[in-house]
């Protein structure tokens, strides 16, 4: 669906492009990060446990009042009821009836205050755990996890973003970790381009070509090896291996029953693809659902958007639990901010970062719990206030990473997460 209710600012256009994967940096991304190695003990432990991260990015700014923190019967609450979940005492919006049935897997964080109402800056801080600064660029959570968790023997990329549109290449979201850990964007869930061998090229001929390339690469590297030449070699080998895994991106391989359970609309396919990739060892999968920038007709659009999200999302959570994967997979549902408690003259809600919610489920979190509280009208946090830095630390800790650790970047120690913040201990098991 093409939405026309966003704020229309230049920053929103840029943020949308970033989240839809249109910023494909490809091989021109930073190459200096190839010499970076994370803490070996952390990496070994995570690989053994096969921890995974699944992020749902509710791009544009999901309303907390129409999702995780409803305030029915108040001037700011809007028309929707709060419904009970399968956890006694926890109520969420009636727009999420299927998710309410799996709330026993969730930890809701209702006291988020990021103090940033700009789309691009808000998206950056939620994905990196740091504020945007001209002095430094930081890797997104998916790149950090791909670096720490990624299986070097897996032909599939460690960091995949499934977007409603765009896609087709690697982004620049890995910063100093280098392009190896940047996300690959799958526009509309489609596999990367040029996955199939050309019809005119036989398997025998292709094998001979690759053998010749490897021999020439070896001769060249013996004399002029650099980080950049290593990158080229890695890119060719990764592409060759990825071509052999084309079926991983094909949800038509799943049963008709599963396709029907998820729904054959875009988000249903994307959620089923996310399950398929996680099962095949991808370290971080991000699913983007757009667009929640509801400056007008907030309630109509949330009926449509949240209604579309609820069933396939709850189905995916249930499937991961049934397959024993939820114990090793952390699910995070986030936005760049929430929506204003006050309803504007266009029946919309505007940008609001002062008091909103993030949902987590699965690995490492206190399931069936709520941390943080907003006041009766949802205008401010009154207990358990946290921000993006606390959340980033919490994601890493939930996945078994020592968030106080550092990456060694060409001899410089760069912290995995903001040293000024810390994990939310009350959310962790």
Closest CA to 244 of 185, 184, 171, 191: 191
Q: How far is the C-alpha of 114 from the C-alpha of 392, rounded, in Å?
A: 12
Q: 372 burial class (0-12, 13-18, 19+ CB within 10 angstroms)?
A: buried
pLDDT of residue 194: 65
Q: How far is the C-alpha of 391 from the C-alpha of 365, rounded, in Å?
A: 12
CB 329 within 8 A of CB 285: no
pLDDT of residue 46: 41
Is residue 55 classed as helix, strand or coil in its secondary structure? strand
Higher pLDDT, 287 or 202: 287
| Residue 42 C-beta-side C-alpha neighbours within 13 Å | 22
CB 338 within 8 A of CB 357: yes
- pLDDT-wise least confident of 99-108, 148-157, 221-230: 221-230
pLDDT digits (tens, 9 = 90+) for 224-283: 776 566 656 666 566 666 666 678 889 999 999 999 999 999 999 999 999 999 999 999
Higher pLDDT, 109 or 232: 109
Q: Which of 27-31, 41-45, 158-162, 357-361 has the highest mean pLDDT?
A: 357-361
Tokens of 316: 């995916």
pLDDT of residue 222: 76
List b or e across 8-34, with b for residues whose CB sees 16 or more CB atoms inside 10 angstroms. eeeebeebbebbbbbbbeeeebbbebb
Flag whether the pTM goes above 0.85. no
Tokens of 289: 């659902």
* Residue 153: C-alpha distances to residues 235, 237, 248, 321 (Å): 14, 12, 16, 26
If one counts every other C-beta atom within 10 angstroms of the C-beta of residue 74, the result is 14
CB 166 within 8 A of CB 290: no
pLDDT of residue 231: 59
pLDDT digits (tens, 9 = 90+) for 200-211: 778 787 778 778
Is residue 214 classed as helix, strand or coil in its secondary structure? helix
Q: How far is the C-alpha of 340 from the C-alpha of 374, rounded, in Å?
A: 13
Tokens of 132: 């945007």
Higher pLDDT, 358 or 245: 358
Percent of the chain with pLDDT over 70: 82
pLDDT of residue 338: 98
H helix count then E strand count, the chain: 11, 16
Q: How far is the C-alpha of 89 from the C-alpha of 211, rounded, in Å?
A: 63
pLDDT digits (tens, 9 = 90+) for 372-393: 999 999 999 999 999 999 999 9
The alpha-carbon radius of gyration of the chain (Å, integer) is 22
Give the mean model confidence (pLDDT) for residues 193-221.
76
Higher pLDDT, 49 or 406: 406
* Residue 56: C-alpha distances to residues 40, 42, 127, 330, 371 (Å): 29, 25, 11, 11, 20
Is residue 414 classed as helix, strand or coil in its secondary structure? strand
pLDDT digits (tens, 9 = 90+) for 86-101: 999 999 999 999 999 9
219 confidence band (pLDDT: 50, 70, 90) = confident
Q: How far is the C-alpha of 35 from the C-alpha of 251, rounded, in Å?
A: 36
Q: How far is the C-alpha of 422 from the C-alpha of 397, rounded, in Å?
A: 10
pLDDT of residue 16: 40
Domain ranges of the chain: 10-191+250-427
| Residue 13 C-beta-side C-alpha neighbours within 13 Å | 3
Give the mean model confidence (pLDDT) for residues 175-182.
90
Give the mean model confidence (pLDDT) for residues 293-319.
98
- pLDDT-wise least confident of 133-142, 150-159, 191-200, 376-385: 191-200
pLDDT digits (tens, 9 = 90+) for 23-78: 333 333 323 333 333 444 444 444 446 899 999 999 999 999 999 999 999 999 99
pLDDT of residue 221: 74
Q: Return phi, psi of residue 142, to 5°.
A: -65, -40
Q: Whole-number mean pLDDT of the chain?
A: 86
Q: How far is the C-alpha of 19 from the C-alpha of 36, rounded, in Å?
A: 26
Q: How far is the C-alpha of 309 from the C-alpha of 3, rounded, in Å?
A: 16
pLDDT of residue 211: 80
Higher pLDDT, 47 or 115: 115
Tokens of 38: 């994370």
pLDDT of residue 156: 86
pLDDT of residue 6: 56
| The listed CATH number (3.40.720, 3.20.20, 1.10.443, 1.10.3470) that belongs to domain 10-191+250-427 | 3.40.720
Does residue 429 register a pLDDT over 50? yes
């Amino acid at each position: 669906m093409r939405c026309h209710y966003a704020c229309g600012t230049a920053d929103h256009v840029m943020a949308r492009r970033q989240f839809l994967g249109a910023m494909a940096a490809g091989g021109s991304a930073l190459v200096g990060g190839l010499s970076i190695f994370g803490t070996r003990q952390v990496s070994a432990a995570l690989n053994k446990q096969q921890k995974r991260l699944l992020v749902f990015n509710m791009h544009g700014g999901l309303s907390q009042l129409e999702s995780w923190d409803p305030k029915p019967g108040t001037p700011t609450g809007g028309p929707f009821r709060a419904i009970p979940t399968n956890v006694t005492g926890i109520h969420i919006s009636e727009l999420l009836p299927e998710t309410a049935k799996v709330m026993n897997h969730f930890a809701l964080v209702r006291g988020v205050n990021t103090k940033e109402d700009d789309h691009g800056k808000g998206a950056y801080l939620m994905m990196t755990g740091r504020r945007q600064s001209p002095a430094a660029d930081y890797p997104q959570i998916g790149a950090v996890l791909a670096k720490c968790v990624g299986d070097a023997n897996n032909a599939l990329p460690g960091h995949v973003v499934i977007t409603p549109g765009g896609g087709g290449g690697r982004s620049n979201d890995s910063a100093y970790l280098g392009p190896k850990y940047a996300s690959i964007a799958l526009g509309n869930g489609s596999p990367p381009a040029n996955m199939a061998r050309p019809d005119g090229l036989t398997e025998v001929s292709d094998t001979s070509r690759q053998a010749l390339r490897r021999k020439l690469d070896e001769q060249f590297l013996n004399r002029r090896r650099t980080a950049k030449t290593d990158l080229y070699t890695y890119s060719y080998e990764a592409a060759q291996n990825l071509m052999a895994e084309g079926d991983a991106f094909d949800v038509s391989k799943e049963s008709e029953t599963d396709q029907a359970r998820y729904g054959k609309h875009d988000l249903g396919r994307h959620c089923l693809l996310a399950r398929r990739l996680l099962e095949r060892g991808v370290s971080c999968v991000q699913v983007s659902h757009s667009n929640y920038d509801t400056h007008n007709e907030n309630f109509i659009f949330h009926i449509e958007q949240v209604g579309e999200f609820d069933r396939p999302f709850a189905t995916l959570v249930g499937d991961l639990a049934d397959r024993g994967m939820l114990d090793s997979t952390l699910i995070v549902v986030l936005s760049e901010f929430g929506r204003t408690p006050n309803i504007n003259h266009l029946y919309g809600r505007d940008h609001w970062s002062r008091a909103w919610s993030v949902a987590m489920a699965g690995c490492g979190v206190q399931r069936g719990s709520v941390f943080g509280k907003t006041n009766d009208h949802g205008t401010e946090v009154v207990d358990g206030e946290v921000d993006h830095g606390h959340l980033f630390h919490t994601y890493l800790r939930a996945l078994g990473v020592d968030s106080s650790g550092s990456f060694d970047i060409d001899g410089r120690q760069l912290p995995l997460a903001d040293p000024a913040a810390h994990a939310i201990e009350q959310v962790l098991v």
